[in-house]
Amino acid sequence: MSSPIVLGIETSCDETGAGLVRDGRLLGHAVASSMAEHARYGGVVPEIAARAHIDALRPVIAQALADAGLRLSDVGAVAVTAGPGLSGALQVGVAGAKALAHALDVPLHGVHHLAGHVAADTLEHGPLPDPCMVLIVSGGHTSLVLVRDLATEPVVHLGDTLDDAAGECFDKVARVFGLPYPGGPAIDRAAREGDPHAVAFPRPLTGPGHDPYAFSFSGLKTAAARWAERHTPAAPPPVADGAAALQEAVADVLTRKAVTACTDHQVRTLVVVGGVAANSRVRALAEERCAAAGITLRVPPLRLCTDNGAMIAAVGDLLVRAGAEPAPPTLAVDPSAP
């Protein structure tokens, strides 16, 4: 007997996502983004994000169902991001998920947003090996975690960023460079025309005596801003070179530490997830270094790297199949979930 079809709902930031998963297989999904509405503020405005989720949630669920060729009555369980994320934004998804689960009389599961990013990869590459090392790199997180079984065992946290997340560093430096929001993809595009060795940006926390699994990107952000400020309107900074050099520094630090973590813990598989996993240089350098170290690299396809509902449905599906206890009808959002 096959397990129920799980509807996953994601509203933790500026993407409204819905996805349908059964037995580890992605049946359909849809995403709407309020990114354009935040662009002129240079960052996500929580109030705007929450309102956009209210407008988008029903159409996005309908679109995901249509994509899968399913009807709402086919849904056998609902999974929703409970945290971490923006409080008002999370509330919209959780309220919607509760209403749906109640109306359909199906179980509800609260999902950790980062577990979603990890599970995204299973939709493309199958179940994760036990153990595997996961580098989570997004706009809000930069973490190295050792994963055994996502549904039943807590992950082991090896390290986090001490200040800015890698995506945040890209977003903030892009602004200084005069590139559009969101900065990560803009830096990636600009870097194609640049020389990664044109500027020697620092590689924070990589020297001897530093925590091998801790990250820091705020110094790198400042170094990039200083470099841009040294130029004048008459002789503007060669932004492509700055972008390429910054991207090289971030990719170098991320992949070096991730491969070290694998080697130290004798883990043979590295999974790189989150929005920054979409970065072309991060992907290429991870590929190169994993191959050299005999480590299998897994990176979800681009469309599943950034926030989406399919990844939340993927965790819901794992929970359902592991026989996890459903969430109570009082499920609360947890904006600062650890």
| Helix locations, the chain, DSSP H | 35-38, 46-68, 87-104, 113-120, 122-125, 166-176, 183-191, 218-229, 239-264, 280-293, 302-305, 310-321
> Which residue do the tokens 């008459």 mark?
234
Classify 336 as helix, strand or coil.
coil
Site for ligand KG4 in 217-256 (CB under 6 A): none
Q: How far is CA 191 from the centre of its chain?
A: 21
Residue closer to ligand KG4 (CB basis): 138 or 255: 138
Question: Does 96 contact ligand KG4 by CB under 6 A?
Answer: no
Question: Does 185 contact ligand KG4 by CB under 6 A?
Answer: yes
User: Residue 192: how many CB atoms within 10 A of its CB?
Assistant: 12
Question: Does 271 contact ligand KG4 by CB under 6 A?
Answer: no
- Candidates 96, 204, 275, 300: give the one binding ligand KG4 (CB under 6 A): 275
- Specify whether the CB–CB gap between 84 and 140 falls below 8 A: yes
Residue closer to ligand KG4 (CB basis): 74 or 160: 160
- For residue 80, what are its two tokens? 């929703």
Which does residue 164 bind out of ligand KG4, Zn ion, none, counting CB within 5 to 8 angstroms by kind? none
The angle formed by the CA atoms of residues 280, 285 and 288, to the nearest 5 degrees, is 130
- For residue 86, what are its two tokens? 């923006």
Number of residues that bind ligand KG4 (CB under 6 A): 19
Which does residue 184 bind out of ligand KG4, Zn ion, none, counting CB within 5 to 8 angstroms by kind? ligand KG4
Question: Does 142 contact Zn ion by CB under 5 A?
Answer: no
Which does residue 94 bind out of ligand KG4, Zn ion, none, counting CB within 5 to 8 angstroms by kind? none
User: Residue 326: how many CB atoms within 10 A of its CB?
Assistant: 17
Question: Does 28 contact ligand KG4 by CB under 6 A?
Answer: no
* Rounded CA separation 203/251 (Å): 10
Q: How near is the Cβ of 136 to ligand KG4 at its closest, in Å? A: 9
- The verdict on whether omega for the bond into residue 59 sits within 30 degrees of 0, i.e. cis, is no
- Specify whether the CB–CB gap between 99 and 26 falls below 8 A: no
* Rounded CA separation 294/17 (Å): 35
Contacts of 209 (CB under 8 A, 6+ apart): none
CA dihedral 41, 47, 50, 54 (to 10 degrees): -100
* Rounded CA separation 52/34 (Å): 6
Residue closer to Zn ion (CB basis): 138 or 255: 138
Q: How near is the Cβ of 276 to ligand KG4 at its closest, in Å? A: 4
Residue closer to ligand KG4 (CB basis): 22 or 29: 29
Which does residue 183 bind out of ligand KG4, Zn ion, none, counting CB within 5 to 8 angstroms by kind? ligand KG4
Helix (H) or strand (E) holding 298: strand 296-298
Q: How near is the Cβ of 81 to ligand KG4 at its closest, in Å? A: 10
184 is in an annotated binding site: yes
- Candidates 33, 142, 269, 279: give the one binding ligand KG4 (CB under 6 A): 279
Question: Does 274 contact ligand KG4 by CB under 6 A?
Answer: yes
Which does residue 171 bind out of Zn ion, ligand KG4, none, counting CB within 5 to 8 angstroms by kind? ligand KG4
Question: Does 138 contact Zn ion by CB under 5 A?
Answer: yes
> Which residue do the tokens 């996005």 mark?
60
Residue closer to Zn ion (CB basis): 252 or 307: 307
What binding mask, one character per residue, do residues 271-310 give for Zn ion by CB under 5 A, x or -? ------------------------------------x---
Please report, in range form, the residues annotated as the binding site for substrate.
136-140, 171, 184, 188, 279
Residues that bind Zn ion (CB under 5 A): 138, 307
Residues that bind ligand KG4 (CB under 6 A): 13, 138-140, 167, 170-171, 182-185, 188, 274-276, 278-279, 306-307
Please report, in range form, the residues annotated as the binding site for Fe cation.
113, 117, 307
